[in-house]
Structure 1
């Protein structure tokens, strides 16, 4: 044949490497496993020259894809197999023919390889027996619509042993055609009209192919899915180029809803109907061929209903207080609260108080939204709340959970920064007011940026913190409301130093019967101050010296250039004790509460018609009821059912709050 430019062995090695990269995700399909020899397919090693064509049926391949390499099953008994054979040209093509009577014209085929065979192509070496793999310089796309033709032209002068050969598989049709000669080099563009041999054989072959599949498959949502959102993203897999999509409720008459899609997905611009069975089909198009998927089915859920957001939970006095935010999507009519994975209660509010708790237990809560279709949303985030050992005869409890993070305002408590010094701060942690002069600060380590992971609260997620003054010592005071201690009173709290690297924190616990000026207080412990360990440490003091008296308690940080003092879970207990109220202060004429005492109901009105919010507490400081801002409050229509006793009313107009007493008599 005419001379074909040779590709250097170096270039062949490079092509082998590149093709190896391309076929990492390919598979191979083996056709034939026979042991017949002496067929001259794909070429004849014992002759100088040969030219062959072979047919491999599409039913044997059964896969469309990109062919990147060919492997033939070789047998070599000597080294001359490689040195005297190997100048190859290979073409591939597709044909409806299933047997040969004549050559297929070379211009109907595509050149895929031109070069020398090299030792790296032989997986068992030469001599040896195994598979000779030729990486194609031009990958060939096979569409599986016809039979595969492989033409091989071997041009290396010389020949090897008659023991060198390729294994073939016998058939009942002429699947191979070959011409070989010691003298004549056949020209594939004008192959010999005589002297060729038809073979009822083909060479054992492995096709290295990256499959393609035009038939749409793998629907999402999967076939027969339920609870599919009404705005679903429909997707599928296919190697076709364009798609039409039919969607409807009658599987026998599906209307087209989209045509000429170029991506394997589609989403309706309008919501589907809730609780409806839909059927859909994808029609793929490629090279003027059509491939229709099966008809798939799914059932929609109701409206899109997202989960409630930002669930928070904390222990307050004698109950767990839960708050959350509504979903971003959906029409909510109520919320289902879960505790320890079991339904607990339903509410229309964005908060809930769980009084059915036990001391020293941990509870896990999450919330689901319920809409008008009685659908339930996914769950909110889960929060855990650990109930401390609940003290008896509680007068006042402060765990700081209900206070906003990073505030210095604690209602009814005095919080004084008497050192007025800038404070130290963490180098890589930021939070509001960091470094500023601070009194005691309500601190949430999970809300710093980034979160402070080694300073968890004793219980809940928040505590009070006194940051070290840059100009020591600290002089930060946290003073309780006025409290009547009753009998057998005691104080219990937990404290810790953040670190001992700069010395332990110093804390004074004080009491006053005279007022809230610092000079009014004396310590309740004999030592000048407490050196607080770096672990959460419980402290308890018997206050019987002051039983029956009305007092203020105070926590004074007097640390000297340390780092941070943490304070949590303050309990003040006493039989018959209560949070005291200055009745002289409460006689403000702004609001009228009547009747007082009340039997079944009481009313509150504002004399100037302004709006106000109401919070109702018992004498132990436990929140019983909250009402949003109003200009008129009626306890009967607010669902407030009070037992006989004295209650505290916090009236808040947005600028200030006052506290009044109301007495209920049945």
Structure 2
């Protein structure tokens, strides 16, 4: 997900209308209200660094997805307060409503996908603490499940919500019960506050947590917004403040950073994020650290797990490294070098099935006889995300070794997900010739700025571009290249012809 802080003072009819907007992503939020509930109560936490100004808050503006409706969810009480909490720690960690100020009570209206709430009691905010906004939705009835407010990814617990599905049951804010933590913070505009001036303050790196251990080799760096910042410089090194891995990368106004290449296992890394704007950079921003984990034992073909048939196992592939580079067939890279398994032929048909149990796209490669074999007996990448892949080795040779690689269907480093691996021997299976070599697609240039080309792609075939959360960004017919100039910088997946490839937009 991409996260932004947009802060603005807008000029209308000769006077200044002050406002600060936090968040600009399009994720579906459960706050301030979730219309697909009979009623509900939510609290959302906004950091003082993201607000960056003191003053009197006179109202709020939220935005909903196009086509949303709140006809059965438009009676609310709104409370605002200040708190030391950054997030709710658990489902009972509400800020007591007695510590909040009721700033509005009544009906709200959706106009042009926006809900504007003008406070009847303005709230004085000193920017010494974080801001909590609580909304109690009181009208019985339901709206569509597609009616959602827009939000931005944050720390888990940035929102706590409790919904009721039962008619006649209205949640009491003074005793809401156990709620649910969520990491999608609703985008909000705080009316009445002035845009801060001067250089921004330092952000807080929230993911990985400072001192975290056993981290995957392609972690995502997430940090908090800093009021007034227009860009963030990201540095990563093997010592505090170091830049030997990433040297002051200009990450624009994005609040998350993706590594393109895997980090080394069992290594401590230090992350420094420096917000900046036209007035200068934040000063003396401190580094946080995290340590990567240990690769799985069967990370390479030479250490493949020896399988006893029948084999069925639930596996987490997050700690498979791509240390030996992409797995290849006859020198042509095909997929990530994931987890390896050794199977002995029985004379019957061997069936190998990989069923993903988390959001990722697996592929299967089989080498025959030795790990050093250049040719592949089979390579399958016929399905897409969260869909099973199957290879059948017909009439396996008794006593012969078959080496099976299960990895991400990409030649660029990609973290393997969770999956179920089934390997069985059944002499009654019909013979399937899976030795045909599938033509693999390849994207170039990668990284790309303007036009992305796909080698071996056929004109007229439909393609789809999604982000790493699975959200569709763009789709059309392929015709001599794909224009990606409007995409924001980051990592994307393009699906075409039954294959999924990863590319980086500069």
What TM-score, normalized to structure 2? 0.34
What TM-score, normalized to structure 1? 0.26
More helix by share: 1
Q: Which has the larger radius of gyration?
A: 1
